[in-house]
Amino acid sequence: MSMKRTNVYADPEDLAIIKEAAKRRGISEAEIIRQGIHLAAMANRVWDEPLFSRTFEGPGRTPTKAEVRDTVADAVSRGTDSGTAE
């Protein structure tokens, strides 16, 4: 992978934490900083497609705990009755 050099200003306390983490993990400080840059890039990326591109029919509200429990119990019961459950 080709990399490009850049300079940034960082809080001395953050750098001290990175230094300790690098020593503890046995990797370079630069590797930890690269991981942080990658996480920041992914967190701010604008995706071409929405995360949820499909819609599902439902009551238009969040189901209650009892409704979720009953739905799961019904599905497990149907799976057991048909011999598909393990």
**What would the pLDDT profile of 22-44 be if each residue is shown by its tens digit?**
999 999 999 999 999 999 999 99
- Specify the 3-state DSSP secondary structure of 84: coil
- pTM across the whole model: 0.54
The domain spans of the chain are 12-44
% of the chain exceeding 90 in pLDDT:
65
User: For residue 48, what pLDDT is reported?
Assistant: 80
Q: Among candidates 9, 36, 10, which has minimal Cα distance to 22?
A: 36
Q: State the residue for tokens 């929405």.
A: 50
Task: Kindly report which listed range (13-17, 54-58, 70-74) carries the lowest average pLDDT score.
Answer: 54-58
> What average pLDDT does the structure give for the chain?
88
Give the residue-averaged pLDDT of 60-66: 89
How far apart CA 72 and CA 85 sit, in angstroms, is: 13
How far apart CA 64 and CA 70 sit, in angstroms, is: 10
